[in-house]
């Protein structure tokens, strides 16, 4: 972790009263829709919830977030609830409010991943890519106006994605390296944000993007320092609704996060 991390600064929460935290959503994590990335709002709510849940279970093991309204930059509040504290896991809920309206509701189970044990079996492997130094920007260096998140998260691939060159490949699969632009290493608390920052694979079907309804992230391990390998895949689009699966692997070849979201293509957005 660097001395000054943009992610850590911009997800700071301050206890206001029992179970209530103050935060400020910045304009530095905007998507091309020019509003804060859902994963960023999620990360702010999750950070408040981690305080409520306590230090014995520091790592989000599974997070499910429902995105209710588009966020906007400015002061926000997070209301948290400890739902159940067990011997090895604790579950809580957080609601992020902006101007009194609920933006994100999430439920998460926390654990201590550094002390988890049990059987491990890996039946798939990390994708293979040339080293990050030999890769190029996934988006072809194109910078959409207002999409400030592109300055916060780097994504590099063997070649620029088809959609970035105006030629969507027709195959909604993207494989690339990913990290914070300021060099902050990923950790369990930031993996859900990184998962949602990944470019959507439906761009390769000629879509402009899509709106996340719900995102579930399983955090599996503390990542090794450095770049993460990311694979994004969509397999089923039914009447505008589609899943997006994201896997994040570290440079040791360890799966560190697995995520799925249900999203809606924009022409049918609610």
Piece of the chain touching its own copies by CB under 8 A; list 7-15, 132-140, 191-199, 218-226: 218-226
Q: How far apart are CA 148 and CA 25, in angstroms?
A: 13
Q: How far apart are CA 70 and CA 80, in angstroms?
A: 20
Residue in 2, 9, 12, 64 binding its own copies, rule: CB under 8 A: 64
User: In the window 149-178, what residues touch its own copies (CB under 8 A)?
Assistant: 172
Residue in 221, 228, 230, 246 binding its own copies, rule: CB under 8 A: 221
Piece of the chain touching its own copies by CB under 8 A; list 17-25, 147-155, 182-190, 233-241: 233-241
Shorter beta-carbon distance to its own copies: residue 24 or 173: 173
Q: How far apart are CA 153 and CA 168, in angstroms?
A: 22
Shorter beta-carbon distance to its own copies: residue 44 or 255: 255
Shorter beta-carbon distance to its own copies: residue 45 or 62: 62
Closest CA to 107 of 94, 96, 98: 94
Piece of the chain touching its own copies by CB under 8 A; list 9-17, 23-31, 122-130, 180-188: 122-130
| 127 contacts 74 by C-beta, under 8 angstroms | no
Q: CB within 8 A of 151, min separation 6: which ones?
A: 28, 181
Q: Is 88 in the site for its own copies (CB under 8 A)?
A: yes
Which H or E element spans position 41? Answer: helix 38-53
Min. distance of Cβ 214 from its own copies in angstroms?
5
Q: How far apart are CA 262 and CA 243, in angstroms?
A: 5
Residue in 18, 120, 133, 134 binding its own copies, rule: CB under 8 A: 120
Q: How far apart are CA 46 and CA 104, in angstroms?
A: 10
User: In the window 19-58, what residues touch its own copies (CB under 8 A)?
Assistant: none
Q: How far apart are CA 160 and CA 162, in angstroms?
A: 7
**Total interface residues for its own copies by CB under 8 A:** 57
Q: Is 98 in the site for its own copies (CB under 8 A)?
A: no
Min. distance of Cβ 253 from its own copies in angstroms?
12
SS3 157: strand
Piece of the chain touching its own copies by CB under 8 A; list 5-13, 48-56, 144-152, 240-248: 240-248
What are the phi and psi torsion angles at 25 (to 5°)? -80, 125
| 187 contacts 224 by C-beta, under 8 angstroms | no
Q: Is 100 in the site for its own copies (CB under 8 A)?
A: no
Q: How far apart are CA 109 and CA 141, in angstroms?
A: 38
Q: Is 220 in the site for its own copies (CB under 8 A)?
A: yes
Shorter beta-carbon distance to its own copies: residue 24 or 216: 216
User: In the window 248-267, what residues touch its own copies (CB under 8 A)?
Assistant: 254-255, 258, 260, 262, 264-265, 267
Min. distance of Cβ 130 from its own copies in angstroms?
24
| 240 contacts 264 by C-beta, under 8 angstroms | yes
| 24 contacts 78 by C-beta, under 8 angstroms | no
Q: Is 82 in the site for its own copies (CB under 8 A)?
A: no
């Amino acid at each position: 972790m660097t001395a000054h991390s943009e992610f850590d600064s911009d997800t700071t929460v301050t206890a206001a009263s029992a179970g209530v935290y103050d935060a400020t959503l910045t304009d530095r994590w905007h998507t091309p829709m020019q509003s804060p990335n859902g994963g960023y709002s999620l990360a702010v709510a999750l950070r408040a919830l981690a305080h409520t849940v306590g230090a014995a279970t520091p790592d989000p093991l599974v997070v499910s977030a429902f995105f209710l309204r588009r966020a906007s930059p400015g002061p926000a509040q997070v209301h948290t609830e400890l739902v159940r504290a067990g011997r090895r896991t604790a579950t809580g809920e957080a609601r992020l409010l902006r101007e009194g309206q609920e933006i994100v509701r999430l439920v998460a189970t926390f654990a201590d991943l550094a002390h988890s044990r049990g059987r491990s079996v890996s039946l798939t492997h990390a994708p293979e890519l040339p080293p990050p130094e030999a890769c190029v920007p996934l988006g072809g260096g194109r910078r959409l106006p207002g999409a400030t998140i592109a300055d916060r998260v780097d994504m590099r691939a063997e070649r620029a994605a088809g959609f970035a060159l105006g030629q969507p490949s027709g195959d909604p699969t993207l494989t690339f390296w990913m990290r914070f632009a300021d060099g902050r290493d990923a950790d369990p608390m930031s993996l859900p944000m990184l998962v949602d920052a990944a470019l959507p694979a439906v761009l390769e079907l000629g879509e402009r993007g899509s709106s996340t309804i719900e995102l579930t992230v399983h955090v599996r391990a503390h990542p090794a320092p450095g770049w993460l390998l990311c694979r994004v895949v969509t397999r089923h689009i039914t009447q505008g609704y589609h899943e997006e699966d994201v896997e994040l692997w570290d440079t040791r070849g360890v799966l560190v996060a697995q995520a799925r979201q249900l999203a809606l293509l924009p022409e049918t957005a609610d």
